[in-house]
Amino acid sequence: MEWVIIAIAAFATSLVTFFSGFGLGTLLAPVFMIFFPVDVAIALTGIVHLANNLFKLTLTSAHAHWPTVWRFGIPAVLAAIPGAWLLIVLSHSSPLFSYEIAEHSFSVFPVKLLIAILLIVFSVMELIPYFNRLTFGKNLLPIGGVLSGFFGGLSGNQGALRTAFLIKAGLSKEAFIATAVVVSVGVDFTRIGLYFSRMSKIPIAENYSLLIAATLSAIAGAYLGNLLLKKITLRFIQISVAVLLILLSLALALGWV
């Protein structure tokens, strides 16, 4: 049953990615977390995220602006290493505290609380108009790459920061999209490689059908999103997705998922 739920979630999250500004990984990871430990969920989400990005890369790579890729992407890829390492360290931590509600016990782990905080921060950024207008100059591209890559390695959340820094790089729409995809692929390869080198219990073989279903669903969602782009109100989708993600993050922080 979980592969059906995750496939539907992958389709829906890939679809709203076109409208909300959230990345696929930001929205899909909490769904994976319902069925898997947080570190495993982020690793499995990363595989779907990478496969979806590789699909988009075949469509957009010709438009990538490579000077920006080097200035922003290389720091991002390097910073993804300590971010992924921190996730691995936190995944072995003991619970911060436990509590009971109606005879049900819940435990709050450091990694869950940290990821929940990150998801809430990125969600709130979508709800506040100031952050939608927030951009940074070209001279700060390397710093933006470090921040985006680190949080990408830690939680998969790199889209919001990447957009804020790349939007003022003087790129065309096509170059902006292609450059962002190239950078995201680099970060995904780095973090996933580190996850698999340090995490011995990532159940790939047992969940290959789930990963295939999620990946194909994400690709289908992206295709449909492109078709519906002109018919959807952007702000409504942004607010709806941000509110839902905050609710999921609170449930994660409280140890409910």
User: Per-residue confidence of the chain (257 residues) as pLDDT tens digits?
Assistant: 677 888 888 888 877 766 655 567 777 877 887 888 777 787 888 888 888 888 888 877 888 999 999 999 999 999 999 998 888 887 777 788 887 877 777 777 776 777 778 777 766 776 777 766 666 667 888 988 998 899 888 877 677 677 767 877 777 777 887 888 899 899 988 988 887 776 656 667 677 788 888 889 988 987 887 677 566 665 666 676 667 667 767 776 776 65
Cα–Cα dist 163/26, whole Å:
14
The SS3 of residue 231 is helix
Q: Which two tokens stand for residue 137?
A: 């100059």
| Planar angle of CA 39, 45, 46, nearest 5 degrees | 90
Cβ 153 vs Cβ 80: under 8 Å: yes
Which residue, chain included where needed, has tokens 């709806």? 240
Cβ 126 vs Cβ 22: under 8 Å: yes
The number of distinct structural domains making up the chain is 1
Count of residues in the chain: 257
The DSSP 8-state label assigned to residue 73 in this structure reads I
